[in-house]
Structure 1
Amino acid sequence: MKYVVREKMFAIGDDYWIEDERGERAFYVDGKVMRLRDTLEIQDRDGAVVAVIHKKLVSLRDTMTVERDGQVLVKVRKKRLTLLHDVYRAELASGEELEVRGDLIGKEYDIEYDGERLARISRKWFTLRDAYAIDVEREDADPGMLIAIAVCVDRLAEREHQEHEDK
Structure 2
Amino acid sequence: MKFYIREKIFSIGDKFTIKDASGDDVFNVEGKIFSMGNKLKIYDMSSNEIVYIEQKLFKLLPEYSIYLNGTYAAKVKKEFTFFNNRFDIDSNMGNYEIEGDFLAHDFSIMKNGSTVAEINKKWVAWGDTYEIEINEQENYAFILALVIVIDQVLHDNKNKNNS
Instruction: Give the total of aligned pairs.
Output: 161
Map 1:1-167 to 2 at 5 A.
1-8=1-8, 13-80=13-80, 85-93=84-92, 96-123=94-121, 126=122, 128=124, 130-136=128-134, 138-163=135-160
How far residue 19 of structure 1 moved from its aligned partner, in angstroms, is 0.6
Q: Is the 8 A contact 2:7 2:17 kept in 1?
A: no
Distance in 2, matches of 1:84 and 1:60, equals 18
Render the CA deviation track for 1:63-89: whole Å, top value 9, x for unaligned.
011112433211111235x68632213
Moved more, 143-152 or 103-112: 103-112
Q: How many Å separate the matches in 2 of 1:43 and 1:23?
A: 17
Instruction: Check 1:161–1:103 CA distance in 2 against 1; reply closer, same or farther (3 A cut).
Output: farther
- Given the superposition, is the C-alpha separation of residues 27 and 113 from structure 1 closer, same or farther in structure 2, using an over 3 Å criterion? same
- SS in structure 2 at match of 1:22: coil
TM-score by length of 2: 0.83
Q: 1:163 deviation in Å? A: 4.8
Change (3 A) 1:93 1:105: same
State TM-score, norm by structure 1: 0.81
- The change in CA–CA distance for 1:84 and 1:60 in structure 2 (over 3 A counts) is closer
Contact 2:8 2:15 in 1 (8 A): no
Query: What CA distance in whole angstroms lies between the structure 1 residues aligned with 2:8 and 2:48?
Result: 23
Are the equivalent residues in 1 in contact too, given 2:51–2:70 (CA < 8 A)?
no
CA deviation vs aligned residue, 1:118-144 (integer Å, no higher than 9, x gap): 100012xx46252121110x2110110
Which residue identity does 1:99 align to in structure 2? E
Post-superposition offset of 1:165 = 6.2
Query: Which residue identity lines up with residue 103 of structure 2 in the other structure?
Result: I
Report SS of the residue matched to 2:144. helix
Q: Helix, strand or coil for the counterpart of 1:153?
A: helix
Q: Which runs of 5+ in 1 are unaligned?
A: none
Cα distance in 1 between the residues matched to 2:14 and 2:162: 25
Residue 29 of structure 1 deviates from its aligned partner by 0.9
Q: Aligned partners of 1:155, 1:97: CA distance in 2, in Å?
A: 21
